Amino acid sequence: MAKTKPQDRRKAKKEKDAKNGASKPKTSPEALLIQAAALLQTSQPDEALVAARRALNLLQPTAEPTVAALPALNLLGEINIELGDPESARDAFLAAIALDTEGVHDGAEKFLWLAQLNEEGGAESVRWFEKGVAVLKREISELEGKSVKKAEITDALDEKKRKIANALCGVAEVYMTDLSWEEDAEARCEAAVTEALLVAPESPEPLQTLASVRISQARVDDAKAALTRSMELWKDLEPDDANIPDYSTRISLSRLLMEAGMEDDAIEVLERLIGENDESVEGWYLGGWCLHLLAEKQKASNNAERITPLLKASRDWLENCLKLYAGFEYEDERLKDHAEEILKELNSVLPPSTGEEEEEEEDDWEDAGDDDEDAEMDGT
């Protein structure tokens, strides 16, 4: 009998595999979730969405949902937030809550997200924040009761305490805005901030929130003290340190610093933010506005050498802001209108920009700022 040719053997194997129903192994839902999370971390939310949906289909193959689907649902919620689809994110988190109403299986995150995403706001937001805080407190109690060395759970405890503090800051913000008309709004706000400071005294966010409360109470000196303490906790850390507040928190910080009249600190924060992300429309806008405010303060001294560089730098920042605004089709009309209003005023007093002097102007206004600090130290 003649030998079988190699291609004949391969063909026979394929036919045998097909007959026996042999197929390529499927990717596991766990692997898909890891892939989706990695894609989300690397700013590829569209691809992450595909992988997370595949994982959900494998974890929830029937119409009857089970707790096995929780990791996929929570990840889908976060992906949809990144994609700018809050409705789909809410649906995912609500589905997760329906499967785990007390956060026993997957913790507090879904409650904390819903506090920020729910359309009703106000009391409903407070309810979700408080639910998340209750879950985190339970988890802390469980960790502290474990018979392991304290050092092994310190990081986990600190992280959960920070989350509690941030949630309590969220409650305080609601009572300063949506529920400010409530009779006990100020007392509830104070209580939330006080507890946040007690839970996480080394966290910058509660101090920022305290400053916001003090500004609303016209207690500006107290606000300045809180903002200074908040910045001292992180401003000298290395850029990749996990204890540095996230981008949006520092954007809010710069606004508070400007409200408190601490423009020099605000522009320092904003320069750092733009160094990290030079495509932030809001960052460029706030920097331009802040530099304009600094120039206004200098007008009292009638020193053109200090005023003009600040005004020119303000114009550069605002022009960058509006270029990005148009390019990204940004939707904050109030920001755009205010930036254009300041630019119109600047162009009425400044010569036309050559587009070649930006770096020189920036050095000039930085030197002017240094001179101001020296003058303050000298008591002049």
Average pLDDT score over residue span 244-256: 96
Please tell me the predicted confidence (pLDDT) of residue 231: 97
Please tell me the predicted confidence (pLDDT) of residue 146: 76
- 212 located within any domain: no
Decide: 284 and 324 in contact? Cβ < 8 Å: yes
- 226 located within any domain: no
| pLDDT greater than 50 at residue 380 | no
| pLDDT greater than 80 at residue 111 | yes
123-132, 204-213, 216-225, 345-354: least confidently modelled range? 345-354
175-215 per-position pLDDT tens digit:
999 999 999 999 999 999 999 999 999 999 999 999 999 99
Which helix H or strand E contains 250, and what residues bound it?
helix 247-259
**Domain total in the chain:** 1
- 86 located within any domain: no
Please tell me the predicted confidence (pLDDT) of residue 149: 61
Rounded Cα distance between 2 and 310, Å, is 92
- 191 located within any domain: no
Residue with the bigger pLDDT between 361 and 85: it is: 85
Q: What single-letter DSSP state applies at residue 120?
A: S
Rounded Cα distance between 127 and 106, Å, is 19
- 297 located within any domain: yes
Per DSSP, the three-state class of 7 is helix
- 176 located within any domain: no
Alpha carbon of 19 to those of 4, 11, 12, 14, 25: distances in Å? 20, 12, 11, 8, 17
- 365 located within any domain: yes
- 121 located within any domain: no
Our measurement of the distance from residue 129's CA atom to the centroid of its chain's CA atoms, rounded to an integer in Å, reads: 17
Our measurement of the distance from residue 7's CA atom to the centroid of its chain's CA atoms, rounded to an integer in Å, reads: 59
| pLDDT greater than 70 at residue 379 | no
Query: Tokens for 377?
Result: 């130290």
Please tell me the predicted confidence (pLDDT) of residue 2: 44
Domain range for 375 is: 275-380
Please tell me the predicted confidence (pLDDT) of residue 145: 79
Average pLDDT score over residue span 60-88: 92
Query: Of 242, 244, 222, which Cα lies nearest the Cα of 232?
Result: 244
Average pLDDT score over residue span 237-256: 94
